[in-house]
Structure 1
Amino acid sequence: MVLVICLLLTAASTALFSLTTRAGDRTRFENITRTVQERIASHLNADEALLRGTAGLFSASEHVTHEEFRIYVERLDLKRYGPGIHEIGFSQRIPAARKDLAVATQRDLGFSTFRLWPDTPPRDEYHAITYLEPAGIRSPEAMGFDMFTEPIRRAAMERAWQTGAPALSGKVMLGQEAAASGQEGFVMYVPVYEGHSLPETAQKRWQLLEGFVYSPFSATPLFSGLFTPLLQTRITFRLYDGQEPKPEALLYDSSASLEKTHARPVFTSSSQLEVAGRPWTLVFFSQPDFEQSLMATWVPSVGGIGTLMSLLVFAFARSQQNARKRAEDNEAERAWLLSRERLARAETEAQRTHLQDIFMQAPAIIAILGGPQHVFEFANTACQKVLGHRELLGKPIHEAVPDLKQHGPALLDKAYHTGKALSGREVCLPLRYTLGGRIEERYWDFFFQPRRMPDGAVDGMMVFAFEVTDQLQARQEVELSREEARRSAAQLQAITDTLPALVAYLDLAERYRFANRAYESWFGVKPEEVLGKTAAEFVGPEAYEGVKEKLQQALSGETIRYEVELQVRGGRKIYMQSNYLPDRDAQGHVRGIVVLAHDLTERRKEEEIVRNAVRLRDEFLSVASHELKTPLTPLSLKLQALARAVEHEPETPFTQKVRSHVEAGRKQLNRLSVLIGDLLDVSRISSGQMRLRWEPVDFAVLVREVVARLEPEALRAESPLNVEAPGSLMGSTDRLRFEQVVENLLTNAIKYGAGKSIQLVLKEEAGGVVLRVKDHGIGIAPEHQARIFERFERAVSERNYGGLGLGLYITRTIVELLGGTIRVQSEPGQGAAFTVDLPREPPSGTAPLS
């Protein structure tokens, strides 16, 4: 009986011990699972807060530049924040009508390969990635990706804009929106609305939606980084997307990194977790390292001890000792869990401090005001700087910033009492922005967001503000520039409408962007009917083929000029000169062409009349020259005979007078002979009948012979000739024409040398012959130096210097026929230097005189 009672007591004790230890082990297991769940929720809530702050940046500013976004994300220092957010982006809502403009804008900002993709099928709007930082891990292909085209991401984005709250996507394979391409994970979205406040209805939220701040999360690195390897060997868990643990919904399995797992765990449990509106299912499993410390493992031992009554005392003492040890282990376990909890709280506090540091360093004004009196609880560095470093914290706004009493408090009161966010754009706030300074007017964009307690009551206000004074002034300047451009365009239209020529502007697509009134008088088409048409549409396919190549050359940067016969209004034909002038931007790129077209019909008629007159003149000069030259020979003979007759007569006043007249007649006869020779040369040049006779010559000998002939004339003009030439310089040329060039240049130098010395230099240079004649006379003004080589042109008055103005024209023509060039260097009063460059041998294909 005693044995039965002992056995019953032993059995009861064993059962009670089993129930007690299993309940304790279950409690330990659930404490650990609760810690894991709270750690996941805490970390993702912190990530959600960061994304909300980023959305606030876009809401508080009319336009966030890529540089501002880069600085903002850089100051977040995401690497210090632990596993989770490694990159933050912004998906912009782009209507289909603004697709091309959005692509062009991004490319102008430096994203040369930016495109909206996938580009099919066509749709009413796009939600493309336009911001993604940090740049060090950003994939260039991510820019422009439309996440709205993927059903799972789209579902999360629609839930976000409909609720106005952050939304988490289901399980997705991370692609081009992240650097972690090809990994399983999820994406968190925070909507950004126009007007900064949350619209009241779903319809207004859709209308005012500007885009989404988002961040992709790779599940494995995120959850692996949250928990130590020690915890993973004690308890493992699987995280499923959704409310049921389906295999295809598995997001993360902590046992995947373990070499060996428990096939039949002692404890399992599942729980639900909601993150940003998305339900998750967590399933936990105990592992051998945890199960080895379970009190339940001692149940068989206690039963065996109970059956052995002889060992009752020993067994009882042993069991108490073991129980005490297990209790100590449990206490150590509990202490470890408490320490992990304290670490988690410390990390949360560190994250809160880090977030406060971010707000302090933000380039925007951020302030937190408490209670209906709007007492300053927080003011970042930018706020303190703008308000002149006044004492703010702990003071109501009307006391801390009395300058605001006519502006800010009323709006703050309205937002506080209604509980609705308020915003303003380009609001003028006259303040003393420096302590003790003068009142200045600056313009601000601001956003007042009520702060609510857990019960929903408003207990304060969050203030965000950006100064937009510079942007406002810049926009005003742009508007003034646009108005000035409109006035200039009107003036240009009025001016060009008065011109008797076609004036138009074509863009790179050969489309008319401007046309003057001449189009109506020439073609019977009003300018406004021309605008928007392409060149092919306006002139027709057949006429366009004739100008297509010229238009393309002009658009490639060439200046094109050509003449063409054209039929205009009424069937009348005119001869037109067209000019295509490329128009370039500040970088030198062609952005269009200016078209100028003139009617040359009357000028062509006048030119034909002039050509006929010139032809008749040349014919007259040719005939007159030959007719005038005919009597010169007998007249010259008569003068020579008279001179010889007078030489044999005695010296008397009469014979002296006769000699004087004979000498004067001889000089005039020579002058007339030279003039007639020039006229004959001009006639030959005009008719193309001037022929060259190439023969071997010594250029140095020819020069000295000409100098010898003209030396008496130079001495009479008191202009001595200084010659610098080699002893011999052989080559081939037309002897008479070369002498004519030298003689014309020396004659000019004597005539205009003002009684000063003349230098003649002949030398060999670069395989050719260089002749240089320099005087120190009256010189030639720069504006006359080009035309003195033309027919009948002179740089001086005919009253002071005789001649027909043909010498230099004939000289230039001869030099060019000889294959050379002539140029002049001169300054008024400094003399003139003529330089002739000639080849030593005739051009190829020219046979020398044998």
Structure 2
Amino acid sequence: MVPDATPDSSVSSPPFPAALLPTLLAVSLSAVNLLRPVYGPGGPEIVDFSFDYLNPAAQRITGLPERPGTTALARFPEMVVNGVFDFYRRTYQSGEPGTFDVNRQSDGLDNYFRLAAQRCEDLLVVSFADTADHPRTPVEEALRAAQAAEQTARADAEAQRQRLHDVLLDLPAFVATYRGPAHTYEYVNRNFQQALPGRSLVGRTVREALPEEGQAYLDLLGQVYQTGEPFQGQEVPSLVDYTGTGQLEQRYHNFYVQATRDPAGTIDGLLSFSYDVTEQVEARQQLHLLNQELEARVFERTHDLRHAQAEAVATAQRLLRITESLPSTTFTVDQAGQVLYISPQWYAYTGMDPGASVNEVWPTLIHPDDLPVIAREFGAALAEGRPWRYEFRLRGAAGHYRWFASQGEPEPLAEAEQAGRPRQWFGSNLDIDDLKQAQYAREQQEQRLTNILTSLPASVVTCEGEELRLTFFNDTFQQFALGRAVLGRTLGELFPEAVEQGYTGLVHGVLRTGEPFRASEVTSYVVDPRTGARKETFLDLTYLPLRHGTEPPHAVLTFSLDVTERVHARRERETQQLLLLAANEALTESNHRLTRTNNDLDTFIYTASHDLKTPISNLEGLLHALREEIPPELLQGRYAPRLLGHMQGAVDRFKLTIAQLTDISRLQRASTQPVESVDLATLVADVRLDLAPQLAADARLVVDVAACPRVTFAPKNLRSIVFNLLSNAFKYRHPARPPHVELRCHCAEDGTVVLDVQDNGLGLTHDQQGQLFGLFRRLHDHVEGSGVGLYMVKRIAENAGGTIAVQSTPDVGTTFTVMLPAPARAA
């Protein structure tokens, strides 16, 4: 439902994305073709259309690729016969959109297609859908039945034409057909051609083929062609070179000429039928040879009769073979229901012994639920002398039932009475199981669709006619109606407030124009009929017209989704976003102050370390000078050397602390160092050389970096990580065993580089592990150190987006695991 108002012209629709059209063509369930006209040589006439593009649905239906590289008539020549090509050409030339329905019965298909076409610049856009995927209207079903009957009649006519052709071919007479006003021979039977040996007749005019006939014969043919009145002549003489020797021979014929017409009733040719009666004429002229001639004629007639009888038998055999090759079972029954004949298809399907009685066996093969229908329909048809039509299930030899359609026609009663026998019915059983299964699948699909619509969280309603009477509604709409009776009522009767708010007017607009209507988050209210309270809601609305084919809409399908919670949630979220924005601004200001503080701290550390270097250097120089001034005997004493050593150690530790303070101040800028592809094995080898003075003779270092030979990282930072971890591993060795350190590296599935350093040293307690990465934190005092190394490793790893973890057991050893991000993240 939407408010009663015309669309707001101030609200413009959003621009469509560029990928919308390709996406729409890709997901469309309708087939779409882009055709380009092909013109004849040197002229504007369109002789074909080439395929420029087929969307996936068109590719599925036609079996062609997206760009076939061929033309429409080359791939589908039947388009000329079924009118599709004329529809394409007419639509392109007129520039007006058009639709066309066609029943395609080729390539194994027997389906209706509905085509819609419109010209777009120099292309023809064609959309079509296979209506076999949708329920057919009664008109379509009637049309299909009519076309099926037409096909059956055409097949019967073709069979009859073939039989007539065979009869005419061997008929002991002269039969010919002529085409056009020039009387061109279109067909001559065998006797006609044999009577004129050496002459080519078919395709030639009478004047060309029989010039000796003269103008009188041509005038006779022309008169029949012009007037349509048939001509019949008895013992018509003719002088023709029958032997091909140039000698004219006079013969006599009984002659009949009749005009032929096209389907529109226009004369388009002639049919001539004649037979040679020369012998009869000459017999009358020669009475003394009458007996001999009569004997010859009797003999000839007997021969012809036998030949005709043989032809009749051959024709009957051909008809039997045709019957036995049909996909349906044919049979003949009498009025008592006794099966007189049944084709072999019955025995092949049922597995029944051809010697068994069909009347005794067939009731056991019919599905029990269908026997009453057959008994009623079949018996009534025989008793009333009328046709029958019904469907039933028949069990095959494999034990499975399949659906068949049975139909039968009675022979004319007069024919049965004339033959002196009971009336017969001619029937057939056609396998329609695939059709029934498809029909069942469609019904199931429709039921699933109904179930889906019924269970949708949106209100779904169908409003029929100008009254907008409700013919379908789902459960959500029933809840929305607040206990009101829905079915059969109009929208205005059910919701008077819908009229006030203009919803019924909008639905009428969709019904009148056929254009869908959509709106989002429309403010609406519903009155509770039980309490009279008004409840405000927000709805997303979609009104869709429903129509049969190209007819005007007869109903409107409405979708109403209650988005009240979404609107309230969005408003709440917008309020929270405003509060969050204010908090973010305050946090940003705090970050700026913290950044300035950090910068000031870095500057202080750098300045302090730089300013302390000079006095410490001076102090170290004074210490050396003092050592030079002390008398040798004092240097050999008990206290002086020890005090000087303590003083020098303090100076060295102070210098190391200043250097490490400088390094800490640089950590803030460490993440900005450029990354490179570092050879990890070479880097570890260089660190090992630097550590050589600290390694005892029994120390062992195992390096396994084959899984990640190159690491993308800042070289100086990676070297600092490896140096500090290996240095600590050897520095905090266990006094009871030689140090054994392993450095391993591998890559995780997401590209993360995992670096492990494992030792067998002193190990750490759980409390010590929690303090390990603190600045100036030292957990063992028996070796030199400042407590800065692991702090720097942690800062370097985290600044690069990585992590460091430790696993340790006292008196067993420690494993450090550094995870460095994949190259893309590091970049």
TM more than 0.5: no
- Return the structure number with greater helix share: 1
TM-score by length of 1: 0.44
TM-score by length of 2: 0.45
